[in-house]
Structure 1
Amino acid sequence: MKYSYLVLLIWCQTIMATPTDYSLSDNLVIYSEKLGYSLQYRVLAPLNSADIQAAQIMFVTDGQNYLQDAKFDQLLVSLMQQNNIAPVIAVFVDSRDPDDLTINRRHSQFMCNADYAGFFQQELIPVIEQRFRLQFSERKSMIMGLSFGALNAGCFGVLLPKSFTHLAMQSPASDKHVKILAKVYQQATVSAVKMFITVGTRNDNTRAGRAFHRQVVKQGYDVSYVEVPYGHVWDNWRSTLEQIMRWFAPYATTTKAVENANETY
């Protein structure tokens, strides 16, 4: 009898400790009236309805590269299952033409394109709201990207400051475009968006990234800033993904503080 009770107790504890499952969808295609063409995206989401209702929402541009080169979905699942971050719904937006993957539209999409921002606000976000039966405006939300995608995240901070509470900008590029973005911010009203900016110290538009960081801090934005000893490569961007996620979606009961590894320069 004691043996049976022990087996039952272990079995119950195992069931209770089973991590929440998550699912990454296949490519989903959406036609954009704003842009005049179709786009595709994939969604990583908890399967548990309670976690869905508690989830923060993040959109990742160049989503196909974050999945292939960073295995970002696997990192997110690991962090969530270990309670290192709160539940998130991650939308990986592909910058390529769904009908011809050799055509990449990122250069036209990411340069403070008001129609691209309109696609998110008026078309993509409502689809996500309907799919998961949630209100986007009632939770934290993040737009993130790297290189030109980081520039796009910065642009969304001006074009859609009420839609996205957090901007994650990994290696914003190029020098010329970052300087243009800095001028855009100089002319815009300071909003409540929070920024996480990462820059590599080896041929990674470092000087322009530092200058932009100094400017937005002076303007009064809430900014976390990290420099890493890499160039404009995936070793750079992979190295800060966990820190970005702990900043955006810290687990509610954790006592761990997000390290803000500001560099002296």
Structure 2
Amino acid sequence: MNILRKCYMAFLGAVVMLLLPCRTVTGDSIAEPDYSFYGKHRSQIKPINRMFEANGSGGRADIYEEPGEEEPVIKMDNGSVFCVIHMYTDKKGDKWGSLLYDVQGNDTARTQFYTGDYLGWVKMEDLLVRYDEISFREEFGKQFQKYAGELDGYQAEHQTLYFWEYPGSEYKQEWQIQEEAGDWNIQETYRDDAGSLWGYSDYLPGVKGWICMTDPVNPDLPVLVRESVPASEVEEYAPGKPKRGYEFIIGGMILLVSLLTAVMIFVFWRRKKQS
């Protein structure tokens, strides 16, 4: 094996190793249970992965095995909170959301499929959208400012930092910084009414959220109560977000591998033809 071929194989191996972690299921992954309706209408179903609250007209929200069926399989009491994973629009224009529930008929609020779970469908008009990071962006996005390095140089080693769903949320993710923090990957900031400065950090795969740069290690920041919104008033349930830089790097490396493969095939074919 000549030097060119060895270099190519080494590069290809590096790309494969880089791609392997992408197959890991994370909290951002969308469950795709193998059910007949889902399989038949896959192209018409869009991912949502967002928390909703039952708000049916009769005090309950009906859950059906498939959209359009006459009899529900279970009924969710108003106020029940669960995750709508996908949305489907039928021929009449009615929107349906999918959710997972267990054999006892309980809502699971899951985004991953587990053995024993059932996939049900609920009309989106019978739901409220729980206030979340998407809601926050819709309400305050015009006040966002470009990150100016406010957290650069912060000594975060051996400290626990908190990544909040949005400024004022009760939900947070904690992360222990073992060594130098590195790039916080903050693109935008927001200053709340109390004067605290926040930055949205896409820190690591599965570790992201709003950091209170004014007090990043405080787990007991004030919670602001925000009302849920009728799903019918929300135009876009899951707007896309800009991709992280490493995703573009992986895409570029895949393209480069394809080009190198074509070159190697041509070189080997030409040598074989000349011999």
Larger Rg: 2
**Higher share in strand:** 2
Band of TM-score, shorter chain:
under 0.3
The alignment's TM-score, normalised by the length of structure 1, stands at 0.24
The alignment's TM-score, normalised by the length of structure 2, stands at 0.24
